[in-house]
Amino acid sequence: MATYQELKARAEELMRQAEAARKAETAAMIAEIQAKMAEYGITVADLRGGAKKPATRKAVAAKYRHPATHETWSGRGRPPHWLADEVAKGRKREEFLVG
């Protein structure tokens, strides 16, 4: 029966061989992929699938304006604190409409 040290040395040698085989196979695969890309005229951008740019939102005109501070709100999303406070005091949103 082999000793622990002998088994450990064999395991380390096998790991070195496995790493060398992995590097050789990786290099061969990269070369094969590069050759296919050149053959078909494929670029790295093609491989990314033409990533889409994030959609940009267009600015929306103000729909509500505070008469004293001139703060505005487009009417989208949560109402700002100034409008929520005024509504809580009993005023109506329509009072703050622009135009």
| First-to-final CA distance of the chain | 95
Q: Does domain 64-96 have CATH number 4.10.430?
A: yes
For the stretch 6-39, pLDDT in tens is 999 999 999 999 999 999 999 999 999 999 999 9
Answer whether residue 1 shows pLDDT above 70. yes
Give dist(CA 33, CA 50) in Å, integer.
19
For the stretch 31-76, pLDDT in tens is 999 999 999 999 888 888 766 777 787 888 999 999 889 999 999 9
What integer pLDDT is reported at residue 59 of this predicted model?
85
Give dist(CA 77, CA 54) in Å, integer.
20
Contact 68, 57 (CB under 8 A): no
What integer pLDDT is reported at residue 40 of this predicted model?
94
Sketch the domain layout of the chain as residue ranges: 4-47, 64-96
What integer pLDDT is reported at residue 51 of this predicted model?
63
